[in-house]
């Protein structure tokens, strides 16, 4: 099966990050601006957490905190689950299911090189299945 590197090669490799000192309001605006559901939280070049829509709901809204007054570092998810670029897709799918997460940073050593989402994994699997069906149909119906 495919590796994370193959998924990253098919998508925009830019990862939107935020500092832990920024407010939840700023983080929400950044996610809206980019049309994404999560941000990698970095302190300098070090990945220190993930901040997602789920964090806003559970740790800010449900706790009745003021998003303009709460910093991302206070409500982010830690520790960060990450994978290497050579990780197999099955490994990512298992991580998404087992840990109930939707965003997985891709780390090459200490360097952040991309992010894979549950949607990326599903879309890749669907495309692989379509390609297989197309190949099998051409094999079955083009044989004379």
pLDDT digits (tens, 9 = 90+) for 83-122: 999 999 889 999 999 999 999 999 999 999 999 998 888 8
List residues bridging with 111 in a β-sheet: 108
**Domain ranges for the chain:** 4-142
Give 15-32 pLDDT, tens digit per residue.
999 999 999 999 999 999
Q: What sign has the CA pseudo-torsion 96, 119, 7, 40? A: negative
pTM score, whole prediction = 0.84
Identify the CATH assignment for 4-142 out of 1.10.579.10, 1.20.1260.10, 3.10.580.10, 3.30.420.40.
3.10.580.10
Nearest to 70 by CA among 85, 81, 59: 59
3-state secondary structure of 50: strand
Length of the chain: 144
């Amino acid at each position: 099966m495919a590796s994370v590197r193959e998924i990253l090669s098919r998508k925009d490799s830019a990862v939107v990050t935020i500092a832990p000192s920024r407010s939840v309001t700023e983080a929400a605006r950044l996610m809206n601006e980019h049309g994404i559901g999560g941000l990698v939280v970095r302190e300098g070049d070090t990945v220190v957490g993930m901040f997602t829509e789920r964090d806003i709901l559970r740790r800010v809204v449900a706790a009745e905190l003021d998003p303009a007054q709460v910093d991302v570092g206070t409500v982010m998810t830690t520790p960060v689950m990450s994978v290497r670029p050579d990780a197999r897709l099955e490994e990512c799918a298992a991580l998404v299911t087992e840990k109930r997460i939707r965003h997985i940073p891709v780390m090459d050593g200490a360097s952040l090189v991309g992010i894979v989402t549950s949607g990326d994994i599903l879309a890749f699997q669907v495309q692989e299945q379509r390609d297989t069906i197309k190949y099998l149909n051409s094999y079955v119906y083009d044989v004379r």
